[in-house]
Chain A
Amino acid sequence: MSTTLRSALPDAELDEPRELSTAPTGSDRVFVIGTRSIAATVLVITGAIGVFLALSAVPTIQHYGLGFFTETQWQPESDTLGIAAVLLGTFTVALVALLFAFPVALLTALYIAEYAPTRLRPTLISLIDLMAAVPSIIYGLWGFVLLQPHASAIALWLHQHLGWIPFFRVDADPDAAVWEQTRYTASAFIAGLAVAMMVMPMACAVMRQVFSQAPPGEREAAFALGATHWGVIKTVVLPFGKGGIIGGTMLGLGRALGETIAVVLIISPAFDLKLKPLEVGTNTISALIAGRFGEATSLQLQALLTAGFVLFVITLGINTLAAMIVTRSRSGAGAEA
């Protein structure tokens, strides 16, 4: 009798690993290639725009030098082009818009998330989204026709009482018997108010989403410890929502910087380097493009594209910062704008 060792079994094959392939085959391959080409097309289209904008900066800087960023006048006839005044004007309008939109958005978001009756909450959320969907020309109409007389009266009041601060100064006599209404209309202040109407719902939606995600356990714990409603908000909701607040505000700022039509309807174009939003005359990059694109030679078109590129880069920077702050905060990545 003989015993055969396992190792000597005939027909024992060496253990070879199985071919594992994750490459798609058949219809999947078509699917992957199809979607990849679509994504590549979109990448090319959107990337081309960015590249085109960046490339148009080259001949502009070559021709006008870095003085392009410090020159205030935009005189195509004498070939003096610069965006210093326009950039400052853009920021002035955005600053005024944020000054009004931020507190209102914060308080409205608090109202919807905390104070509103539960049955009304979905309606109110829809109303805020509707407010964000209303076209900007309608807000421009509203600001131009309805708001302007009242806002210029408010500007006069601000000038009369706070005129000692340079920010609120206007080049008119605040105590004149008949006030010079021309100097208080068509200003960055009124344009900023119209833009605030557009920025507010965007910021409010983000903030509300963040506030409604505040951890219920912590809220209830605060209530149980005897805090009032405001105490709960102050200690739980607001710290939790800090990222959303900042992120929402910055998103609104991005929108405010790029707003065109309301600004074009309201302002009187002026190329002054001034931080006086109550005074007549201002200009923003988007209003500059909208007003001057028709009479631009090809070099001036490049200059306008460069101005647009500067605006795009600023907006992109703010959006990226906002996204980073929102995702890194406690509120997490759930708060998508």
Chain B
Amino acid sequence: MTIELEHAASQTPVGRTATLVRSEPASNDVVDDALRRQLSTTTAEQRFELAGCWIAAAALSWLVCARLMPWDGTVVFVLVTFVVGVTLIAVITSLDAGRPEVSDRLVSTVVHSAALLVGVALASTIIFVLVQGFGGMVHVNTWVDDMSGVGPRDPLDRGGIAHAIVGSLIEIGIAVAVTIPLGIGTAIYMTEIGGRFATIVRTIVEAMTALPSIVAGLFIYTTLIVGLGMPRSGLAAAMALSVMMLPIIARASDVVLRVVPGNLREASLALGASRWRTVWHIVLPTARPGLATAVILGVARGIGETSPVLLTSGTAAFMVTDPTDGVMNSLPLFIFSTVRSGEPLYIDRAYAAAAILLLLVLILFVSARLLARPRKGSR
């Protein structure tokens, strides 16, 4: 079948000899449907086979679990469905395809199932926390009141977790105020100045990222609280958080700064700027999205860490805004102490706090992603 080259003829100006050249059809050509090449990877037949296999697997699995074997429970049902489904797909595919296609199909099925499993697990976690915490979150007093004077049997419209939210924010605020300058400064030293000392610093900092968070908390407890007699307070908790976050932020900033192209720096130096000006005006603005992401992810990690706070800050039921004034509370600690109490209403409050913590982390995460997007016009 030849393709009519009408457009070539119509474009030929008057007087010029038309030459018929075989060429590809233009995009505004009309091509027969039968000639269209199928670009999608699955045919209707394959989709039917897939659907049929899974439906059959589910039905067989119900038969096996509910009628033939003494197995009950959703987990067993899903497992048996999966095994039977995979067998069926393997057999059906092998009907008219060779071994490579069969193994390809099998691997594809397994990979998709694993991804689905992960999706289900993540969704179940988030939905579980949000649904359980919803009852507490709808009350305004949950956000603005604290738990002073509220007993375990008091209903959810009394008391709240404002003290935990404020405590978390204060502690992470202090930790960030300490870690950001130190971390980014160290990263600047390691990337811009370099040298033997910088290699030593880099090695030590990377080694300390392996420090478990509970050991950071124990370190602060032993040195500051027991050793120096500092009371258990928001300040001690902030110190424990900074000790934990400092190597992480230093290392993440180091990675981000190293990615800044060298030619930008060289161009700046060639134009006569000092190293200080290069860093301040060129390197840092270029790395700003990456640095912001690193900082925000470090903050998200710090807000959710319970172990350093567990050892260094107690659990107060009332609002404390002075970080040096004794025991404070924070969201993860509040969740930890109330969920183990066994009182159903306390557990509801724990879930509300968990939901709020999750939302906080989600907001931080989304803002990190938005900040990390390349700006319009930049490379």
Contacts and interface: CB of A to CB of B under 8 A. Distances in A.
Chain B interface main SS type: helix
Contacts of A319: 207, 209-210
A56 B222 CA distance: 11
Given A26-B274, A39-B201, A150 B215 contact: no
A145 B348 CA distance: 13
B357 A131 contact: no
A304 interface: yes
A39 B186 contact: yes
Closest 10 CB pairs of A and B: A135-B304, A258-B212, A107-B114, A38-B185, A228-B104, A308-B215, A31-B276, A35-B189, A111-B115, A39-B189
Interface in B112-165: 112, 114-115, 117-118, 121-122, 124-126, 128-129
A88 B345 CA distance: 37
B354 A258 contact: no
A307 to B, nearest CB: 9
B297 A286 contact: no
A260 B189 contact: no
A142 B124 CA distance: 9
Contacts of B182: 38, 41-42, 45
B83 interface: no
Interface in A107-121: 107-108, 110-112, 114-116
A316 B210 contact: yes
A52 B117 contact: no
A249 B348 CA distance: 36
Contacts of A138: 125, 129, 304, 354, 357-358
Contacts of B108: 115, 229-230
Interface stretch (B16-24, B51-59, B305-313, B316-324): B305-313
Interface stretch (B5-13, B169-177, B191-199): B191-199
A63 to B, nearest CB: 16
A38 B226 CA distance: 28
Interface size class of B (residues with CB under 8 A): 35 or more
B75 A150 contact: yes
A318 B207 CA distance: 11
Interface in B232-270: 243, 246-247, 250, 255
A268 interface: no
A293 interface: yes
Contact of B204 (A27, A47, A301, A309): A47
Contacts of B342: none
A39 B311 CA distance: 28
Contacts of A130: 362, 365
B212 A312 contact: yes
B84 interface: no
Given A260-B306, A308-B212, A50 B183 contact: no
Contacts of A289: 214-215, 218
A153 interface: yes
B73 interface: yes
B216 A49 contact: yes
B61 interface: no
A319 B110 CA distance: 30
Contact of B107 (A35, A135, A233, A308): A233
B332 interface: yes
B219 interface: yes
Contacts of B305: 135-136
A308 B217 CA distance: 11
Contacts of B274: 26-28, 31
Contacts of B247: 46
A142 B218 contact: no
Contacts of A305: 215, 218-219, 222
A180 interface: no
B90 interface: no
Contact of A137 (B122, B181, B336, B364): B336
A228 B124 CA distance: 34
A197 interface: yes
Interface string B258-293: 000000000000000011110100000000000000
B114 A137 contact: no
Contacts of B110: 107
Interface string A180-220: 00000000000000000100100010000000000000000
Interface residues of A, number: 89
B361 A137 contact: no
A225 to B, nearest CB: 12
A323 B111 CA distance: 27
Contacts of A127: 122
Contacts of B255: 336
Contacts of A104: 114, 117-118
Contact of B114 (A111, A228, A231, A308): A111
A146 interface: yes
Interface in B313-352: 332, 335-336, 339-340, 350-351
A112 B112 CA distance: 10
Given A39-B201, A308-B212, A137 B111 contact: no
Nearest to A112: B115
B72 to A, nearest CB: 9
B185 A133 contact: no
A31 B276 CA distance: 6
A200 to B, nearest CB: 7
Contact of A293 (B114, B193, B221, B276): B221
Contacts of A36: 189, 193, 197
A164 B75 CA distance: 23
Given A35-B185, A146-B128, A305-B222, A46 B193 contact: no
Given A42-B182, A130-B365, A146-B128, A32 B339 contact: no
B87 to A, nearest CB: 18
A133 B114 contact: no
B188 interface: yes
30 contacts: A24-B275, A36-B189, A39-B198, A46-B246, A49-B216, A107-B111, A115-B111, A131-B118, A134-B126, A134-B304, A135-B303, A135-B358, A136-B305, A138-B304, A138-B357, A141-B129, A144-B339, A146-B128, A150-B75, A227-B100, A229-B104, A261-B332, A289-B215, A289-B218, A290-B214, A301-B226, A308-B212, A309-B215, A312-B210, A315-B210
A234 to B, nearest CB: 8
